[in-house]
Amino acid sequence: MVNGAFDPRLGEPGLEEFERLVERWGLKGVKLYTAEWKGASRGYKLSDPWARRYLEKCAELGVRNIHVHKGPTIWPLNRDAFDVADIDDAATNFPELNFIVEHCGLPRLEDFCWIGVQEPNVYGGLAVAMPFIFTRPRYFAQVLGELLYWLGEDRLLWASDYAIWHPKWLVEQFVDFAIPEDMVSEYGQLTPDTKRKILGLNAARLYNLDVPAPVSVSSDAHPGLEVSERPEVAPVP
C-alpha cells in the first residue's frame, strides 16, 4: 500500500499528474506539507481555491485519507503555514474525506482539539508527541489525555517519526505506559484496547485492512470482536 502527494500550486497540470498517480498506484491517501516553499510561495492553506479543487479530485477518485503535516515549525519554514485552522474548513467542506493531522497540531494542541471535537472526520497522528514518552512522560500523558478526551480513542493513530529511528523502543514503551496516578482522575487509565486501537486498529479501519483476530479489541468493549491478550512486540531480526 502506498500513499502519494499533491501540491495545489501546480494548478491544472498538477491535477492531471495526480490523477495519473492514483490510477497507476491505487493511492488510498496523500501526505501534504502546507508549509513547503515553492518559488515565491511560502506555503498554502487547504482552504485555498486550488487546494479545494485537489480535495474534490481526491473525493472523486476515492483517495479518502488526507494526512497533513501540522506540527512544529522546521526552520526556515513559516509557523503560520503549519497552523491547523484550515483543517476546520476542509473537514467541514469534505465530510467524505478523513483528515489525519500529523503531529496532532503541536504546539497548537488546544486549537486542534477544539477543531477535532466538532469535526468527526478529523484524526490525530502521534508523531512528534510519541517520543515525549521517554523524555517527558508526564507531558506525554497530558497530550495523550487531552486527545483522548476531545477526539476519543477511535481517532488517534500511531506514528513514530520512523525516518529518525527504529520504532521498536517506542512501541515497547507505549505498550507499557500508564497514566501517572495523580493524573488518572482527570485523564483516566490507558486500557489495552485503547492501545491496540492507537497502535494499528484505527489505521487499519481507515485503509480497510484485514486485522487478525488475536489483535482485535475485547468482545466486552465491542461485541462480535475477538478477545485477545496483550500483543507481543515482534523482535528485530
Q: How many Å apart are CA 224 and CA 91, to the nearest integer?
A: 31
Residue 229 lies in a domain: no
Residue 235 lies in a domain: no
**Which neighbouring-strand residues pair with 122?**
99
9-67 residue pLDDT tens: 999 999 999 999 999 999 999 999 999 999 999 999 999 999 999 999 999 999 999 99
Q: At what angle do helices 109-118 and 85-93 cross, to 10 degrees?
A: 10
Q: What is the mean pLDDT of the chain?
A: 89
Enumerate the H helices of 73-209 as residue ranges. 85-93, 109-118, 132-135, 137-150, 168-176, 184-187, 192-196, 202-206
Report whether 179 contacts 225 (CB < 8 A).
no
In-domain check, residue 80: yes
Does residue 227 lie in a domain region?
Answer: no
- pLDDT on residue 225: 36
> Is residue 93 situated within a structural domain?
yes
Domain that holds residue 195: 8-215
Peptide bond into 167 cis (omega under 30): no
pLDDT grade for 218, boundaries at 50, 70 and 90: low
- 49 lies in a domain? yes
Share of the chain above pLDDT 70, in %: 92
What's the total number of domains in the chain?
1
CATH number at residue 152: 3.20.20.140
Quick check: is 77 in a domain? yes
Q: In Å, what is the CA distance from 118 to each residue of 92, 95, 138? A: 9, 12, 27
pLDDT above 90: percentage of residues in the chain: 78
What pLDDT, in 10s, does the model give residues 89-139?
Answer: 999 999 999 999 999 999 999 999 999 999 999 999 999 999 999 999 999
Cα separation values, 181 from 32, 75, 132, Å: 38, 38, 18
Q: Is residue 233 part of a domain?
A: no
C-alpha cell read off for 200: 494499528
